[in-house]
Structure 1
Amino acid sequence: MAARTARDDDDLDDLAEINVTPFIDVMLVLLIVFMIAAPLATVDIGVDLPGSNATPTSRDEPVPQVALLADRSLTLDAEPVGREDLAARLLARGGDPGGLRVDVQADRNVGYGEVMDLMNLLRDAGFTRLALVARDTRGEP
């Protein structure tokens, strides 16, 4: 078994060349990981929304009440309505849809995304004055 103790000049030439391919691979993998992880880090913020103790405003005109129930069904003024018929029934009330205020109620067990889907449905139909209705907690401890 022979051991090599001296260096040749040829060995230095081989070591002077740096292979950057593994470095680039690692950097691309890290970039992808951070691009995926960054949006997920902002979603998991726990929010404890308070109840509303604001004084209700008086209404001069009747306001349509759209409710999203726990079973994900919709009602318009306490009458069941399908998603595809909701906008048409609201438009049948007449007037400018952008000027008509619509109150949106949602069961507390309904997810935030489903409430946003309902609001987007109403917004796509031209209703831009949407109000979220909360339970009155002014007399509760």
Structure 2
Amino acid sequence: MGMAVGGNSGGGGGRRRRGGRNKGVISEINVTPLVDVMLVLLIIFMVAAPMMTVGVPIDLPETQAKALNSETQPITISVKNSGEVYLQETPIPAEEIAAKLEAIATTGYNERIFVRGDATAPYGVIADVMARIQGAGFKNIGLVTQQKKDQ
């Protein structure tokens, strides 16, 4: 009964690698690059999300009205400061508003319709658009404004 004395100071009978080189395949997944990519994507989406607002870019007037809770996406008609009228994001002549609304309304004449008028748009154009919507039979019409910031 004897003990073997060797130069292996680490105990155990495993193989010793020379020069610190790994010759085997590492079977562990390195998640650090995955986490880096996910954080970059998160930052990109956080920056890009506010830019994805639906509609034509216009300068809305500010009021003290509270925000509405909306379960469904309403139909939006925008009036730019130059007097151009848009249905959702598509330019449309004012004469065709009633016909287009009747074609796309999913709940009939109870469809929610929001009118977004630029703060510097001519009042007559906005009033004409609202009169055409009401004349077509739609009753749920709202004006979109921005909430005033406390000063």
Unmatched runs of 5 consecutive residues or more in structure 2:
1-60
Unmatched runs of 5 consecutive residues or more in structure 1:
1-49
1:66 to 61, 77, 87: 77
Give, in whole Å, the separation in 1 of the partners of 2:117 and 2:66.
20
Partner of 1:104: 115
Change (3 A) 1:77 1:140: farther
SS of equivalent residue, structure 2 residue 113: strand
Alpha carbons 2:83, 2:122 under 8 Å: kept: no
Identical positions, percent: 23
Deviation string 1:69-118 (CA, Å, 9 cap, x unpaired) is: 11111111122112122222211123322x11210111112222222111
Partner of 2:47: none
Q: Which amino acid aligns with 2:77?
A: V
Alignment of 1:26-65 (within 5 A): 51-65=62-76
TM-score, with normalisation over the residues of structure 2? 0.53
Partner of 2:44: none
Partner of 2:86: 75
Partner of 1:118: 129
Cα RMSD for the two superposed structures: 1.8
2:117 is the alignment partner of 1:89: no
How many pairs does the alignment contain? 90
Q: Which amino acid aligns with 1:103?
A: F
**By percentage of residues, which structure has more helix?**
1
